[in-house]
């Protein structure tokens, strides 16, 4: 379906008020977080024109991630028929990338666009809503968020910061990263300076490496100059755009640290509560549309980009040895268990995530995994 046709149809749905079912049912467990103060919202002027500022953690117009922020802003503007417009600021244009969370929390901007694991220092449990090493695929992650109680927990995590989070895309399966040396054993990870955020970074640290959290716009220079020895970013689509193949020789898979990473919009709750109820619905539907759009785009673009990296740029693909992956999986279990023991909110999220992983994994194993194995053998 063409994007313009989809937006026009979605606008018709919101005007008819048919918002009770489907993915929006994920809001029902926590209506105070999802819809804000309804009495306050109903007092809004339906004819008022508003402009929101969106701050992002991405370079402006960067493929997939930066353009995903633009898409969300466009959806909100068009679905509201211009009553709520959104101006997008890339990283460092209004605030530095990693200050976006605080900027929206205090009301400097009304909405932000980033990745939940960037805020682990503020809320450790936030990391589960991005991606967990050896965790859920993009499809499974969306299932947990929308139908497994994930969004309700996520909103509890962000509530102390006056923020409402929404999934707005998924990078799908990622690559394991770019390295300037081959990884043949777990010993090769010791002393390795690697850009890798979130839970994956903690796993690398316990394997003997030194994780770094560097904004995307700085990765090429850091890798080229030797400030870091390796970096993961996203996958072929984004990695090609950054030219990382010019700064490192080896490109590893699988992306054990992020099998399906959720990207987020975080909305200032005070600003959301002040919206008329129809504009609140516009924001919610626009986030769902952006989530579908970005996830589909990454799946579509990564295959073509991988071919280009190999055929045009001679990139050397490598696979992590089985014993390295097994060791990282063991460390992951320890990291998750200790996080749950140290933080009550993380314990609740971990319990929900783990239970859903077992449930959905049983189905994924006998459906998609077996099918993909057979398909690749043909």
Domain limits, the chain = 3-39+49-173+260-299, 177-257+312-342
- Is there a shared CATH topology between the 3-39+49-173+260-299 domain and the 177-257+312-342 domain? yes
- Predicted local confidence at residue 45, as pLDDT: 56
pLDDT above 90 (res 376) = no
pTM for the structure as a whole: 0.86
**Residue 257's pLDDT band (cuts 50, 70, 90):** very high
Count the helix, strand and coil residues of the chain and give each as a percent rounded to the nearest 5: 55, 15, 30
First to last CA, the chain: 31
- Predicted local confidence at residue 258, as pLDDT: 94
pLDDT above 50 (res 18) = no
| Each residue's pLDDT tens digit, 112-137 | 999 999 999 999 999 999 999 999 99
pLDDT above 90 (res 154) = yes
Q: Can you name the CATH fold of 3-39+49-173+260-299?
A: D-Maltodextrin-Binding Protein; domain 2 (3.40.190)
pLDDT above 60 (res 145) = yes
Residue with the two structure tokens 């995530």: 353
**Residue 372's pLDDT band (cuts 50, 70, 90):** confident
Give the DSSP H/E element, type plus range, for residue 170. Answer: strand 163-170
Percent of the chain with pLDDT over 70: 87
> Is the Cβ–Cβ distance between 7 and 78 less than 8 Å?
yes
**Least confident residue range of 10-14, 159-163, 213-217, 254-258:** 10-14
Residue with the two structure tokens 């995903």: 68
DSSP state of 249: S
Give Cα 326 to chain centroid, integer Å: 25
pLDDT above 80 (res 20) = no
> Is the Cβ–Cβ distance between 23 and 202 less than 8 Å?
no
| Each residue's pLDDT tens digit, 165-191 | 999 999 999 999 999 999 999 999 999
| Each residue's pLDDT tens digit, 316-333 | 999 999 999 999 999 999
Q: Can you name the CATH fold of 177-257+312-342?
A: D-Maltodextrin-Binding Protein; domain 2 (3.40.190)
Report which of 143, 91, 141 is spatially closest to residue 112, judged by C-alpha positions.
91
| Each residue's pLDDT tens digit, 36-91 | 444 434 444 556 799 999 999 999 999 999 999 999 999 999 999 999 999 999 99
**Residue 355's pLDDT band (cuts 50, 70, 90):** very high
| Cα gap 144→136, rounded to integer Å | 9
Average pLDDT over the chain reads: 90
């Amino acid at each position: 379906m063409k994007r313009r046709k989809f937006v026009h149809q979605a606008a018709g749905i919101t005007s008819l008020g048919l918002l009770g079912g489907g993915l929006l049912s994920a809001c029902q467990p926590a209506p105070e977080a999802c819809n804000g103060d309804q009495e306050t919202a109903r007092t809004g002027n339906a004819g008022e024109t508003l402009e929101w500022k969106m701050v992002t953690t991405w370079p402006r117009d960067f493929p997939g991630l930066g353009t995903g922020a633009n898409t969300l802003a466009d959806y909100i503007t068009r679905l509201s028929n211009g009553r709520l417009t959104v101006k997008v600021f890339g990283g460092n244009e209004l605030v530095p990338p990693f200050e976006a969370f605080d900027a929206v929390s205090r009301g400097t901007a009304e909405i932000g666009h980033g990745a939940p694991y960037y805020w682990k220092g503020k809320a450790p449990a936030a990391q589960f809503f991005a991606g967990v090493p050896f965790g859920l695929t993009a499809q499974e992650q969306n299932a947990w968020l929308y139908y497994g109680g994930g969004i309700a927990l996520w909103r509890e995590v962000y509530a102390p910061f006056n923020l409402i989070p929404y999934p707005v895309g998924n990078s799908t399966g990622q690559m394991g990263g770019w390295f300037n040396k081959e990884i043949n054993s777990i010993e090769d990870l010791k002393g390795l300076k690697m850009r890798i955020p979130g839970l994956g970074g903690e796993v690398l640290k316990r394997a003997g490496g030194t994780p770094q959290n560097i904004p995307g716009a700085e990765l090429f220079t850091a890798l080229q100059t030797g400030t870091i020895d390796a970096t993961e970013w996203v996958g072929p689509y984004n990695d090609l755009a950054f030219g990382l193949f010019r700064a490192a020789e080896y490109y590893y898979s699988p992306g054990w640290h992020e099998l399906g990473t959720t990207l987020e919009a975080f909305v200032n709750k005070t600003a959301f509560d002040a919206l008329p109820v129809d504009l609140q619905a516009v924001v919610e539907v626009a986030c769902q549309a952006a989530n579908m759009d970005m996830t589909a785009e990454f799946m579509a673009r990564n295959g073509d980009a991988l071919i280009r990296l190999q055929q045009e740029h001679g990139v050397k693909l490598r696979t992590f040895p089985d014993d390295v992956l097994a060791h990282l999986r063991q460390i992951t279990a320890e990291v998750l268990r200790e996080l749950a023991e140290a933080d009550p909110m993380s314990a609740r999220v971990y319990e929900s995530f783990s239970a859903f992983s077992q449930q959905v994994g049983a189905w994924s194993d006998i459906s998609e995994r077996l099918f993909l194995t057979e398909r690749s053998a043909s």
